[in-house]
Amino acid sequence: MEQPFWKTKSLEQMSPTEWESICDNCGQCCLQKLEDEDTGDIAITKIVCRYSDPQTCRCTQYENRSIKVPQCLQLTPKLVRELTWLPRTCSYKVLEQTGELADWHPLVCGSDEGVHDTGHSVQGQSISENLIDPDSWEEHIIDWVEL
Ligand code: SF4
Ligand code: SF4
């Protein structure tokens, strides 16, 4: 039986469309982070970027995201390996480290809802930065996103 592309290609070998399809749209990387200036430790908050759709957890400004949010990174294979704040369940990271995708991944289960139904997305677990006092971010640190 023919193997799916993510089992036969490295991240670098994927076409742009294949690369994009590896994102499971969990939205975890769009959560705001706090970095301890002394230790460099990173804490994740439940505060999500203002451009994250609360239902789909997708970016509503995907094409213009680097203009709208200059610190929003364009993920690359190199960054997948280097970024310390990329969530442990990010499908790029999982694929790079295990050669597999989770059974709730859209490409595996055939549905965009698997990531939400299994609690791996920020759907129902985040709050838009538009609704949060910028001085209160520390009150919204969470521990369910593992790095
Ligand atoms: S601009 Fe889009 S991709 Fe970037 S952090 Fe915000 S919601 Fe996420
Ligand atoms: S954490 Fe990874 S899989 Fe989840 S939305 Fe971000 S890039 Fe996509």
Angle at 111 between CA 93 and CA 103, to 5 degrees: 45
Is the separation of the CB atoms in 52 and 30 below 8 Å?
yes
pLDDT, residue 137, reads 96
Is the separation of the CB atoms in 19 and 75 below 8 Å?
no
Q: Is residue 89 in some structural domain?
A: yes
What is the span of the domain harbouring residue 22? 14-142
Domain count, the chain: 1
- Residue with the smallest CA separation from ligand 1 atom 1 is 65
Q: What is the pTM of this model?
A: 0.96
Q: Is residue 95 in some structural domain?
A: yes
Alpha helices by DSSP H, listed for the chain, are: 5-8, 16-22, 65-68, 77-82, 91-98, 106-109, 114-117
* Ligand 1 within 6 A of CB of 59: yes
Q: Is residue 2 in some structural domain?
A: no
pLDDT, residue 47, reads 98
With CA atoms as reference, report the closest residue to 138 among 48, 50, 46: 46
- Across the strands, what pairs with 142? 44
User: Digits of tens for pLDDT over the chain (147 positions)?
Assistant: 799 999 999 999 999 999 999 999 999 999 999 999 999 999 999 999 999 999 999 999 999 999 999 999 999 999 999 999 999 999 999 999 999 999 999 999 999 999 999 999 999 999 999 999 999 999 999 999 999
| Closest ligand to Cα 48 | 1
Q: Is residue 9 in some structural domain?
A: no
* Ligand 2 within 6 A of CB of 115: no
Number of neighbours of residue 89 by Cβ within 10 angstroms: 18
* Ligand 2 within 6 A of CB of 26: yes
Measured distance CA(75)–CA(25) in Å, rounded: 13
Q: Is residue 3 in some structural domain?
A: no
Determine the atom of ligand 2 nearest the C-alpha atom of 27: 5
* Ligand 1 within 6 A of CB of 23: no
Residue 90 Cα to ligand 1 middle (Å): 15
* Ligand 1 within 6 A of CB of 32: no
pLDDT, residue 1, reads 79
Q: Is residue 4 in some structural domain?
A: no
Q: Is residue 82 in some structural domain?
A: yes
Q: Which is it for the CA torsion 9, 60, 55, 73, positive or negative? A: positive
With CA atoms as reference, report the closest residue to 58 among 97, 3, 140, 116: 116
Q: Is residue 5 in some structural domain?
A: no
